[in-house]
Structure formats: structure tokens, C-alpha cells
């Protein structure tokens, strides 16, 4: 018994020593607070450049709660592990970053650390922001420090033990974080490198368009093979892109700026917010971003594009008088539901003013590997980002039952693509009811 007791004491001692060692290794020093810098110390050029860079990073999306004040935090970021709330990054000295020096801000972007030395969670994509240059960090700091200060206390993360202990992130960083600035690829041209700098840095495109492992880290070996974002499927941007026609540079650049593109439609879901801010940045940035993304392989040869467009024309929705007579107002027939709810816009020809919907045979949502986005669109519709303009499709989540939605989804998939039916459509429908769509 005495021997057993000694073993227990020894194990406890080992745990304590290891714990102290981990604490010493994972601890980071605080950076002294400063008085809020006077707005006059930043040049107009630096502030303007910072605004463009903040738009490229879409900072406002995660740092502004619905109907809240810009950058004041509180937006709930849902993760597989729990909810993390976007921090207040206005220059409020008590609840924001008003006491942060430029060095403290730079460290948070490059190393994922708060001013007090606490670890940030990777829902804040410092794994990408670490690639951003010191000069660009300086301009973003100038922009944020000249925003109106908003006193707003953000809720603490809602995470289970031990993830609620920020120091645990030191172990995560050891496994998955590679600190360092972007290094240009000498084998590529300037436009490609500029696009890579945006996509892999501030744009953090991979945070949504790359699959995640069980620890919430990007599977970098999978490339841009598609991922998830706020209840939507972020489609693959590589050779496995679901688009039957692929993308041209002009199409992708237009799409990223929020344009309605003939073979791809318009951005929906979380991507609509991205395109809204990209419409505000220099076209050269969006052109460079398009150059880089297309190098991942989401293109198609001209003859393949032509064939896909021709094939789509053969699958257009057409209803004969005899078919209409057979519908008899069926509430379960997917074709009947489509005829009644969708065909007035997604019809087989003719002319329409302004925005004509993309041919559903070419839609990435209809050709995707899962039903997520089509269900989201049917449930919530498509509308411009707040304050923007563009095509509008009403949502049918309050009109169709779950069974009707499933029937409609099954019909659209089969009729317009001829591909196998999706699995787990019922789960996609229930998930869509839990999200806000856009």
C-alpha cells in the first residue's frame, strides 16, 4: 500500500512539473499599455490604405455584430467547438484596442497574441495574417485607431474545458501555426504574387475554401478543395470545382466584385459580404486575386465550356400543356413545385430585363458535392449584401414544408445535372433553418 502511495505521489509530482513547464513555455509577456494615439499622427494616405487593406481582410464582418456599430465586436463565430465572439477593435481604451501600441497590434496579427499576452483563438485567422507585411499592418493600425471609439464589452468565448483555457492554444500553434511573412515565388509574375499575398494573407481564402481537420486546422495538403463557412459549403477552387464551365479571369474578377455573371450568377451567403467589400478595393487587387485563384485549376478548356453551355440548353425547364394538366397542384411532386415556385424566373427562354438567373445546369450549387448551398438558397433566397444592389430571389423557407423542399431539391439535381441524388438532404434542410442565410 505504501508503495502504491509513493507511485501516486510520484505521478502527481510529474504532472505538476510538466504543468509548470508547459505554463512557463506557453506564457507570453504583456506589452505595456499606451494612451490612444492622436488621429493627427497618422497620414491621410496611411489611413486610406488601411481602409483598403481592412476591406481585403473583410475585418468588419467578424468584428461587427448584427445591427451593431462597425468594428465594435460581438459577432458570434460558430465553430465545431463552440462560439467565439469577434473582439472590439475600435480604439475604446477599456473594451477595445485603445491602449494597444502598434507593436501590440502587430504581434496580435503576426503571432496570435493579445496585448496582455493571452493567446487568441484561430477563429481569428492569424495563421494567415502572419504573412502580412509590417508596412501593411502599420496602415491597418492607422485606420482602426481613427475609427470612432465604441464602448462595448464582448461576451467571453463559449467553449468547453480545456479549450476555454487560452494557453492551450500554444500547443495548437506548435502543431499547426507557421509564423512568418509572405515570401514571393520567383517563378511567378508580379500579379500572381500580389494575388497570392492577398489570398494567403489578409484575404484568408483558405479559412473557408480548404477542408479542416478534427482540430480545426486547415488540411493544407488538400489545397483549395472546398470547406464550410457559416452553414454554407465553400466550393472547391481547384480542379475539383463544381462549375461545369469553370471560370475565366474576367468572370471571376466580376464575381468577386459582386457582379452578376452569366454562367455563375451572383455571390450568396457569406460570400456576398466578401464581394461587397471587394467592390470597394482597387480593381488591380481583385484582378491579381483572380489570377492567383485561377492558377489552382478552376478553369476549363474552351471546347469543354462550349459543350457544357450547349448541354445546359438541352436541360432547360419546359412544361407542356399536357404536363400542366397532370400536376393538379401536387404538394409532393418536385417538378410541380418547381413549376409553381421557380419556373417564372428559371424558365426555358425568352428575354428578361436586368438580371437573368444563371442556367441551373451550370450552377455550382446544383452541381456541388452536397445539397447545402441549394437548400440554403431555396430556404433563404438570394439578396444583396446590406446596403448593396443586385438580383433578388425570395426565400421559400416559410412556404415549403421540409418534405416539399426535399422533393424540389431532388428534382432540380436530377433534371438539371443528371447526377446522383445527394445524401443527407434532410440534414441540410434542418441546418438551413438554424442559420440566417445571409
**162 pLDDT above the threshold of 60:** yes
User: ∠ CA 61-81-428 to the nearest 5 degrees?
Assistant: 75
110 is in an annotated binding site: no
The model's pLDDT over 104-121, given as tens digits with 9 standing for 90+, comes to 999 999 999 999 999 999
d(CA 301, CA 198): 27
Say what the pLDDT of residue 22 is.
Answer: 46
pLDDT band at 392 (very low <50, low <70, confident <90, very high): confident
Whether 218 contacts 206, CB under 8 Å: yes
d(CA 260, CA 10): 68
What percent of the chain is predicted at pLDDT more than 70?
87
The model's pLDDT over 3-54, given as tens digits with 9 standing for 90+, comes to 545 555 445 545 455 455 544 445 578 999 999 999 999 999 999 999 999 9
* Residues paired with 73 in a beta bridge: 64
Question: What architecture is domain 313-434?
Answer: Orthogonal Bundle (1.10)
63 is in an annotated binding site: yes
Predicted model pTM: 0.88
119 is in an annotated binding site: no
Among 3-17, 157-171, 300-314, 360-374, the minimum mean pLDDT is found in 3-17
194 is in an annotated binding site: no
Which string of DSSP letters, residue by residue, matches 85-126? EPP--SS-TTTSSTT--HHHHHHHHHH-B-TTSPBPPTTS-H
Q: Please, what sign has the CA dihedral across residues 227, 270, 238, 374?
A: positive
The model's pLDDT over 198-237, given as tens digits with 9 standing for 90+, comes to 999 999 999 999 999 999 999 988 899 999 998 999 999 9
pLDDT band at 317 (very low <50, low <70, confident <90, very high): confident
Query: How does the average pLDDT of the chain come out, rounded?
Result: 89
Give me Rg for the CA atoms of the chain: 25
The model's pLDDT over 262-278, given as tens digits with 9 standing for 90+, comes to 889 899 999 999 999 99
User: Could you tell me the residue ranges of all domains in the chain?
Assistant: 25-176, 313-434
205 is in an annotated binding site: yes
Whether 248 contacts 255, CB under 8 Å: no
Say what the pLDDT of residue 4 is.
Answer: 47
Amino acid at each position: 500500500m505504501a508503495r502504491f502511495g509513493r507511485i501516486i505521489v510520484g505521478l502527481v509530482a510529474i504532472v505538476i512539473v510538466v504543468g509548470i513547464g508547459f505554463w512557463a513555455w506557453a506564457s507570453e509577456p504583456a506589452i505595456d499599455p499606451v494612451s490612444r494615439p492622436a488621429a493627427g499622427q497618422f497620414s491621410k494616405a496611411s489611413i486610406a490604405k488601411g481602409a483598403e487593406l481592412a476591406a481585403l481582410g473583410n475585418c468588419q464582418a467578424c468584428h461587427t455584430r448584427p445591427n451593431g456599430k462597425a468594428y465594435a465586436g460581438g459577432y458570434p463565430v460558430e465553430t465545431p467547438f463552440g462560439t467565439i465572439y469577434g473582439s472590439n477593435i475600435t480604439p475604446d481604451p477599456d473594451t477595445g484596442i485603445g491602449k494597444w501600441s502598434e507593436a501590440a497590434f502587430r504581434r496580435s496579427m503576426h503571432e496570435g497574441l493579445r496585448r496582455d499576452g493571452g493567446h487568441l483563438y484561430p477563429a481569428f485567422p492569424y495563421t494567415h495574417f502572419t504573412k502580412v507585411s509590417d508596412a501593411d499592418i502599420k496602415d491597418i493600425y492607422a485606420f482602426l485607431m481613427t475609427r470612432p471609439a465604441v464602448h462595448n464589452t464582448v461576451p467571453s468565448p463559449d467553449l468547453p474545458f480545456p479549450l476555454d483555457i487560452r494557453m492551450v492554444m500554444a500547443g495548437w500553434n506548435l502543431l499547426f501555426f507557421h509564423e512568418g511573412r509572405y515570401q514571393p515565388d520567383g517563378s511567378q509574375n508580379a500579379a500572381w504574387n500580389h494575388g497570392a499575398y492577398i489570398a494567403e494573407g489578409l484575404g484568408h481564402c483558405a479559412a473557408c475554401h480548404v477542408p479542416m481537420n478534427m482540430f480545426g486546422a486547415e488540411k493544407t495538403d488538400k489545397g483549395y478543395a472546398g470547406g464550410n463557412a457559416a452553414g454554407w459549403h465553400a466550393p472547391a477552387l481547384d480542379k475539383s470545382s463544381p462549375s461545369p464551365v469553370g471560370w475565366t479571369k474576367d468572370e471571376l474578377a466580376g464575381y468577386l466584385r459582386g457582379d452578376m455573371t452569366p454562367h455563375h450568377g451572383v455571390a450568396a451567403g457569406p460570400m456576398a459580404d466578401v464581394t461587397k467589400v471587394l467592390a470597394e478595393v482597387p480593381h488591380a487587387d481583385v484582378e491579381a486575386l483572380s489570377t492567383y485563384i485561377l492558377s489552382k485549376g478552376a478553369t476549363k478548356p474552351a471546347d469543354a465550356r462550349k459543350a457544357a453551355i450547349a448541354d445546359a440548353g438541352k436541360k432547360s425547364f419546359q412544361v407542356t400543356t399536357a404536363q400542366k394538366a397532370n400536376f393538379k397542384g401536387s404538394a409532393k411532386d418536385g417538378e410541380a413545385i418547381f413549376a409553381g415556385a421557380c419556373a417564372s424566373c428559371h424558365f426555358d427562354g425568352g428575354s428578361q430585363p436586368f438580371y437573368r438567373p444563371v442556367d441551373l445546369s451550370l450552377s455550382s450549387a446544383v452541381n456541388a458535392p452536397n445539397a447545402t448551398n441549394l437548400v440554403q438558397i431555396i430556404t433563404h433566397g438570394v439578396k444583396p449584401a446590406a446596403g448593396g444592389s443586385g438580383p433578388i430571389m425570395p426565400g421559400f423557407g416559410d412556404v415549403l414544408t421540409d418534405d416539399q423542399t426535399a422533393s424540389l431539391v431532388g428534382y432540380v439535381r436530377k433534371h438539371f445535372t443528371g447526377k446522383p441524388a445527394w445524401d443527407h438532404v434532410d440534414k441540410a434542410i434542418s441546418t438551413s433553418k438554424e442559420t440566417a442565410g445571409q
